[in-house]
A and B are shown apart, each in its own frame.
Chain A
């Protein structure tokens, strides 16, 4: 099991300030819920190395990734996978070469990378799509391919930004179950950012409620429901099962 995360995320951007502590045990899944502008996506961006910290630190499996200063590891050197809300599959590459991309970047030869990518896609029941272009697969398939693409690199920490927000409501339960299956066999830890409590319920061991850049409450979902620390928590958790709105 990998993915022990100890992070204090400090970011200042104009009037917005993120100051949140995130701690994950190896192999666990944390859901980060909050309203639009709560700082969820910014938190993911700092963990992935897209946005440098202005304060605090990120330590993953004992390795310092960012200390708000010189100790900044760029995204390509972090064992961190990121799946964006829009899967951002490379449109000029086939599905197979999209999945092989991370392996090639890590130095694998073309044939070797393609073979591993082929196996990874087949494991997820996506073996029929290898030769297609991203424009020729559905939104749900694209989301699953993006997940496979991030996982072939064997990251210690997987970040999912609103993985279901761009998917049609009637297709969400199936995709949610599919993501659940992937996370169950994933040895690292994961953070799922979502505005939909149904995602948190299905995917996560623990929930962090973020509001205005700060952690309002954290714990298992049942505990938060039983004893919400703030009216915002109550309101966010009441949205369970209702799919709507867009992430932020």
Chain B
């Protein structure tokens, strides 16, 4: 039992230790401010923030619909939940290809969009945000749906008998009571967006300053400029650890509330 457990621990922690040991700590500041990392840093945090906003705006209504789906036919509920969860199990590259087939100039939705408004989405910053929202949305929806289902229905009954419409009840009572789940879902989808690689490089490409996010920049820099690649990796590890800490805090406050 002990030996495989140790191997498992090394498998999980070893790469991180190697990264931290080999990181060029002395030059880190210069690398982060350099021409490879800095544009990617700004782009990544900007697009991850934007895609998190998209996830919240689209995901909360989706979660609310799913949370209220108990009266639906069972098959419909299952299909709806499977659709929401698909990006979790789909290889991101496949997601990127699928987004191209939908939104490229010859795509299902992209063709009429281009014909009517001359809009092209792939290989733009908007495409980065869409790819990130695609992979991040399930985290938000599932987390918020669980939180909404956990809210005691008596609060909604009390709100209704106090004169609140279903919409006001949702906004002022149910959603605030599900806030810890919403925060956890937003943090998770932000983290997922920040790390997004496969769907992004497929659907948005790697144009420096436009679509080259941190993971894409790290991958491309690895052969010519390993220092920059490692610097980016350190940034992403730090963000990942911060997310873990933030979620732990959230869960605790969620339990205390």
Interface residues of A (CB under 8 A from B): 48-50, 74-78, 80-82, 84, 86, 88, 90-92, 101-102, 105-106, 149-150, 153
Contact = CB atoms under 8 A, between A and B. Distances in A.
Contact of B158 (A74, A88, A92): A88
Interface residues on B, range: 20 to 34
B161 A150 contact: yes
A121 to B, nearest CB: 15
A105 B155 CA distance: 15
B257 to A, nearest CB: 7
B152 interface: yes
A91 B177 contact: yes
Contact of A92 (B154, B160, B163, B177): B177
B155 to A, nearest CB: 6
Query: Counting chain A CB atoms within 10 Å of each CB, which of B154, B163, B179 scores highest?
Result: B163
A171 to B, nearest CB: 22
Rank and list the top 4 A-B pairs by shortest CB-CB distance, nearest first. A102-B162, A105-B163, A75-B160, A82-B161
A76 B163 CA distance: 4
B157 A105 contact: no
A105 B154 contact: no
Contacts of A91: 177, 257
A105 B168 contact: yes
A50 B153 CA distance: 11
Interface of B: 152, 154-155, 157-166, 168, 172-173, 176-177, 179, 257
14 contacts: A48-B161, A75-B160, A76-B161, A76-B164, A76-B166, A82-B158, A84-B158, A91-B257, A92-B179, A102-B164, A105-B164, A105-B165, A105-B168, A150-B161
A90 B164 CA distance: 13
Given A50-B157, A90-B173, A106 B163 contact: yes
Contacts of B176: 92
A76 B177 contact: no
Nearest to B257: A91
Query: Counting chain B CB atoms within 10 Å of each CB, which of A75, A82, A106 scores highest?
Result: A75
Nearest to A99: B162
Nearest to B160: A75
A90 B172 CA distance: 10
Contact of B157 (A77, A82, A106, A149): A82
B162 A88 contact: no
Given A88-B152, A90-B173, A92-B176, A153 B158 contact: no
A192 to B, nearest CB: 16
Nearest to B161: A82
Nearest to B169: A76
A215 B113 CA distance: 66
A193 to B, nearest CB: 15
B160 A84 contact: no
Contacts of A81: 161-162
A163 B228 CA distance: 67
Contacts of B152: 88
Contacts of A149: 162
